[in-house]
Amino acid sequence: MNDTPFPHQDPNQPKPGQLGQPSPGQAPKPPKPPKQPWATGDKKKRWPWVVGGSFAAATLFLGIAANQHENTPTASETALASRTSAAAATLSAQQAEAKRLEQEEIKRQHEEERIRRAAEAEAERQRQAEVLAAKMDRGTYEQIGDRDFALLAKDPDAHKGRKLVIYGVVTQFDSATGKTTFRAETGANPGDYYDYDVNSMVGVLSTTAANVVEDDMVTLYVEVVGSYSYDTQIGGNTTVPKFFANIVDVTGSK
């Protein structure tokens, strides 16, 4: 077989009929297209990646859908939320109403207390006015005899609160006794200056005794206070009956 190359044929090029070269009379095969960058293997090697990617995409889609489904309230949940909101609003309204009623009750109680205290004060004022009127009513004082007066002088505390008419003469009414107390000799009946022999202390309002002076003869409308002890000018101590005179009538003077 003649191995001489064909005329004008490069000795370095494959001969016709060699592997990968067309035989004489056969058209040359077109060149293969270049592989894409991502196609690093044949179809058999690429299918696991395609399937895996599809599975991952499907899983991601299903997860997003499930999450959206979970976050979307159902009709029953919406109804429950609506009922809960309505119940909360009702409870709030009930609490507000209860608070309003409680405040009104407190105001009512305070008003009742104010009215009660005002009524008590008015009742006390009327009672005091009645007591004062009774003190100034000469007809509410009793006349007693000499013996009853002697018993009173013996034990003044046993006769506390009695309202009596007594008579006497003022024996001391000065700066030592003060403006609301004077000393007098007293008795159960009117008499002369020297007829009274029971030493007594008499309390009085300054306005009531404004015109009373020592040595005045007086008629006294008194309440019995009880016994009273004081130191005498000579250094002794004595206990005498004490009266409070609501009315003092000056009937004469020494």
Per-residue pLDDT 10s for the chain (254 aa) are: 445 444 455 555 555 545 555 555 555 566 666 555 554 445 555 556 555 666 666 666 666 655 655 556 677 777 777 777 887 888 788 888 898 899 999 999 999 999 999 999 999 999 999 988 989 999 999 999 999 999 999 999 999 999 999 999 999 999 989 999 999 999 999 998 889 999 999 999 999 999 999 999 999 999 999 999 988 777 788 899 999 999 999 999 87
Domain membership flag for residue 211: yes
The total of structural domains in the chain comes to 2
Distance, CA of 179 to CA of 182 (rounded, Å): 8
Residue at token pair 């009946």: 189
Cα 48 from chain centroid?
A: 79
Do both 147 and 119 map to the same domain? no
pLDDT given at position 14: 53
Task: Name the domain boundary from 111, 135, 159.
Answer: 135
Domain membership flag for residue 153: yes
DSSP, res 144: -
Do both 165 and 241 map to the same domain? yes
Do both 190 and 236 map to the same domain? yes
Domain membership flag for residue 236: yes
Do both 150 and 249 map to the same domain? yes
Do both 128 and 211 map to the same domain? no
Do both 181 and 243 map to the same domain? yes
Q: Judging by beta carbons within 10 Å of its beta carbon (0-12, 13-18, 19+), is residue 159 exposed, middle or buried? A: buried
Do both 182 and 80 map to the same domain? no
Strand pairing category for 142-143 and 198-204: unpaired
pLDDT given at position 11: 55
Task: Name the domain boundary from 85, 109, 135.
Answer: 135
Tokens of 159: 């006769």
- Other C-beta atoms closer than 10 Å to the C-beta of 180 total 14
Do both 146 and 247 map to the same domain? yes
pLDDT given at position 234: 76
Which residues, 6 or more positions from 249, have their beta carbon under 8 angstroms from its beta carbon? Answer: 218, 219, 220
Strand pairing category for 198-204 and 237-253: parallel
Contact 253, 193 (CB under 8 A): no
What's the sign of the alpha-carbon dihedral 219, 199, 132, 208? Answer: positive
Do both 100 and 166 map to the same domain? no
Contact 162, 142 (CB under 8 A): yes
Domain membership flag for residue 212: yes
Do both 131 and 147 map to the same domain? no
Distance, CA of 50 to CA of 70 (rounded, Å): 30
Do both 98 and 172 map to the same domain? no
- The CATH number assigned to the domain holding 218 equals 2.40.50
Residue at token pair 């003060």: 178
Cα 238 from chain centroid?
A: 58
Domain membership flag for residue 90: yes
Contact 223, 244 (CB under 8 A): yes
* Range(s) of the domain holding residue 153: 142-253
Domain membership flag for residue 32: no
Domain membership flag for residue 20: no
Domain membership flag for residue 8: no
Do both 100 and 181 map to the same domain? no
